[in-house]
């Protein structure tokens, strides 16, 4: 019995040593992440707050520390002479030390991007370009881990003067807009996979939103949604209603601590819980010394002269001023089409389509340009919207037939080709298309 007791004590001692060693590793990792998880925004135009409750906590040398894969960062940079606030909310793949490793990589690389931009005196190209370059650098680094490290993330750039928001969402929970007491999602579709997934570059797209005074954005990891409600005979019951968080935001008046406390009343946290809140405090200041009609008139004059490159340069000067004008982006998209810059054309038409979901021209061109850019999934998405708006619009019927041909969905392609043939049985493009069936 004494020998058995001694063996148990030795085993327990070894376990305690391993536990102490593991806690030491956690402690060192938490020390490395802490200076990266920083809110460095300084601006009278807005306010940013963080809230973090990582799932894994440790007691090391009589002090409590947290470790996890969630990370939030904010700072300031200059782009084309304008002050921008940069913000990040991310969730690295894996639990505890693995997730913390991803957060550490994300924080280190992103802080380096901010430092480099500021050291160079700012950035001379548009905000979309800064986001793309940052994304590509992060994608390259995370991809080098060969599938052992991914991160979902929202990266945003806010023009502090105009309230123009540019952002990318790499498979992160949708940002929430809290405006006039009501909360809603800023988006409703997945366009970009987690950073680190191979081939992700093909899906890159910068999203846009115009903020108003007192608008609040709330970003958060999926820990805010994955709440344990209880147990039944089949096991754990985890919340699957992502709109529950919208109601929680409204009931808490977008107060981060209040959101956390209400979430705990709803159920038990099963993952890291991290929130980032951005409140825009001022009226957007936009120099609107020229009307949209004047800009479009000048652009049309250049268009008739086939001066497409000058049109693009001219319109891009007014992109922020007319950021909510559908006609502006239709003209910009058509100019990019003439230059065969299908990527830029599709982005412009998608902006127009999102500004007015009920306009056939915008939806059709968003589909057509996406097809030319070989983004057939997005082309199908907008083409189907255009079809709902007008089921006899010949150009879109031909467009959809071509899209489904490229998607190898022969039956769907035939269906739309036959609909088009009823309208114009001698259309040359349609005849070429039907020859391959």
**Claim: this prediction has a pTM higher than 0.75:** no
Choose the weakest-confidence range: 142-151, 238-247, 377-386: 238-247
The region that residue 159 occupies, defined by phi over 0 for left and psi between -120 and 50 for alpha, beta otherwise, is beta
Does 286 map to a domain?
no
Number of domain units in the chain:
2
| pLDDT: which is higher, 98 or 26 | 98
Q: What pLDDT does residue 22 have?
A: 52
Percent of the chain with pLDDT over 90: 51
Domain assignment present for 362: yes
Residue 421: its pLDDT value, please?
86
* The predicted structure's pLDDT at residue 205: 81
Q: Which two tokens stand for residue 7?
A: 């063996």
- Whole domain around residue 152: which residue ranges? 21-280
**For residue 317, is it within any domain?**
yes
Question: Which residue, 260, 280, 300, sits at the end of a domain?
Answer: 280
The secondary structure of 169-215 as a DSSP string is: EESPPPPEEEETTEEEES--S--S--BTSTTGGGG---EEEE--TT-
pLDDT in tens, 279-328: 999 998 865 567 899 999 989 999 998 989 989 988 988 887 888 899 99
The residue with tokens 């376990």 is 15
Q: What is the pLDDT of residues 336-372, one digit of tens each?
A: 999 999 999 999 999 999 899 899 999 999 999 999 9
379 and 409 share one domain = yes
Is 257 a member of any domain?
Answer: yes
Task: Give the separation between CA 138 and CA 113, rounded to whole angstroms.
Answer: 10
Q: What is the pLDDT of residue 30?
A: 61
8-state DSSP, 154: E
- The pLDDT value given to residue 268: 73
- 263 & 314 share domain: no
In a domain, residue 3? The reply is: no
Same domain? For 235 and 341 the reply is: no
Reduce the DSSP state of residue 19 to 3 states and report it. Answer: helix
73-82, 88-97, 176-185, 222-231: least confident range:
222-231
From CA 357, how far away is CA 375, in angstroms rounded?
20
Kindly report which listed range (211-225, 376-390, 422-436) carries the lowest average pLDDT score: 422-436
- Together in a domain, 296 and 221: no
Task: Supply 282's token pair.
Answer: 């001022």
Pair 262, 298 in one domain: no
- Give the pLDDT confidence score for residue 188 in this predicted structure: 79
Is residue 253 located within the same domain as residue 327? no
The tally of CA atoms less than 13 A away on the side-chain side of residue 380 is: 14
- The answer to whether residues 330 and 248 belong to one domain is no
Average pLDDT over residues 410-429: 86
The pLDDT of residue 407 is above 70: yes
> Does a structural domain hold residue 8?
no
* pLDDT band, very low/low/confident/very high, at 379 (cuts 50, 70, 90): very high
DSSP per residue, 75-110: EEEEETTEEEEEEEEEEESSSHHHHHHHHHHHHHHH
CATH code at position 419: 1.25.40.10
Q: How many CA atoms lie within 13 Å of 93's alpha carbon, on the beta-carbon side?
A: 15
Looking at the fold, whether 136 and 184 belong to one and the same domain comes out as yes
- 383, 399 Cβ separation under 8 angstroms: yes
Contact 252, 266 (CB under 8 A): no
Place of tokens 């608008």: 215
398 and 254 inside one domain: no
- What angle is formed at CA 327 by the lines to CA 322 and CA 333, rounded to 5 degrees? 95
Residues 272 and 305 in one domain: no
Asked if residues 238 and 270 have their Cβ atoms less than 8 Å apart, the reply is: yes
Residues 276 and 300 grouped into a single domain: no
Whether 336 and 345 have beta carbons less than 8 Å apart is answered as yes
> Does the structure show a pLDDT above 90 at 264?
no
CA atoms of 258 and 112, how far apart (whole Å): 33
Flag the least confident range among 100-104, 159-163, 309-313, 362-366: 100-104
Report the alpha-carbon angle 32-38-40, nearest 5. Answer: 140
Q: Angle 376-389/394-406 helices, nearest 10 degrees? A: 150
Q: Residue 202's pLDDT band (boundaries 50, 70, 90)?
A: confident
* Mean pLDDT (whole number) for 53-59: 66
Residue at 371 is within a domain: yes
The CATH number assigned to the domain holding 256 equals 3.60.40.10
**Each residue's pLDDT tens digit, 27-40:** 566 666 677 778 99
Sign of CA dihedral 138, 141, 146, 151: negative
The whole-number pLDDT of residue 425 equals 82
Residues 109 and 164 in one domain: yes
Residue found by looking up tokens 């370059």 in the block: 133
**Which residue, 220, 249, 280, sits at the end of a domain?**
280
Structural domain ending residue among the three candidates 216, 245, 280: 280
**Cα–Cα distance measured from residue 74 to residue 111, given in angstroms and rounded to the nearest whole number:** 9
Asked if residue 14 belongs to a domain, the reply is no
Residues β-bridged to residue 167: 156, 207
**If you average pLDDT over residues 93-113, what whole number do you get?**
82
Higher pLDDT, 317 or 165: 165
Question: Does residue 70 have a pLDDT over 80?
Answer: yes
pLDDT range class, residue 16, cuts 50, 70, 90: very low
């Amino acid at each position: 019995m004494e020998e058995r007791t001694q063996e148990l004590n030795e085993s327990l001692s070894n376990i305690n040593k391993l536990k102490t060693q593991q806690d030491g590793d956690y402690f060192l990792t938490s020390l490395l992440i802490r200076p990266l998880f920083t809110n460095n925004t300084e601006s009278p135009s807005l306010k940013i707050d963080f809230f973090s409750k990582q799932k894994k906590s440790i007691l090391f040398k009589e002090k409590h520390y947290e470790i996890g894969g969630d990370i939030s960062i904010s700072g300031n940079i200059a782009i084309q002479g304008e002050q921008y606030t940069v913000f990040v909310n991310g969730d690295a793949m894996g639990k505890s030390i693995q997730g913390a490793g991803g957060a550490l990589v994300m924080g280190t690389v992103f802080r380096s991007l901010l430092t480099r931009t500021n050291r160079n005196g700012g950035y001379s190209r548009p905000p979309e370009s800064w986001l793309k370059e940052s994304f590509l650098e992060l994608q390259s680094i995370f991809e080098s881990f060969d599938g052992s490290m991914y991160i979902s993330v929202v990266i945003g750039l806010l023009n502090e003067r105009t309230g123009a928001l540019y952002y990318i969402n790499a498979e992160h929970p949708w940002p929430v807009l809290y405006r006039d007491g009501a909360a809603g999602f800023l988006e409703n579709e997945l366009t970009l996979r987690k950073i680190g997934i191979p081939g992700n570059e093909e899906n890159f797209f910068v999203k846009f939103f115009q903020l108003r005074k007192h608008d609040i954005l709330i970003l958060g990891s999926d820990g805010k949604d994955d709440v344990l409600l209880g147990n039944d005979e089949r096991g754990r019951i985890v919340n699957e209603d992502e709109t529950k968080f919208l109601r929680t935001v409204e009931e808490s008046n977008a107060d981060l601590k209040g959101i956390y406390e209400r979430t705990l009343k709803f159920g038990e946290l099963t993952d890291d819980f991290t929130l980032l809140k951005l409140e825009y405090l001022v009226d957007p200041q936009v120099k609107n010394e020229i009307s949209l009609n004047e800009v479009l008139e000048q652009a049309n004059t250049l268009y008739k002269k086939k001066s497409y490159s000058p049109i693009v340069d001219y319109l891009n000067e007014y992109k922020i001023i007319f950021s909510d004008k559908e006609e502006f982006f239709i003209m910009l998209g058509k100019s990019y089409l003439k230059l065969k810059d299908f990527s830029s054309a599709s982005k412009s038409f998608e902006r127009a389509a999102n500004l007015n979901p009920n306009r056939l021209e915008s939806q059709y061109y968003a589909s057509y340009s996406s097809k030319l850019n070989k983004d057939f999934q997005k082309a199908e998405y907008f083409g189907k919207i255009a079809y709902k708006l007008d089921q006899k619009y010949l150009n879109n019927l031909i467009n959809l037939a071509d899209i489904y041909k490229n998607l190898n969905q022969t039956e769907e392609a035939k269906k739309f080709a036959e609909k088009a043939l009823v309208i114009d049985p001698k259309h040359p493009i349609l005849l070429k298309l039907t020859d391959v069936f």
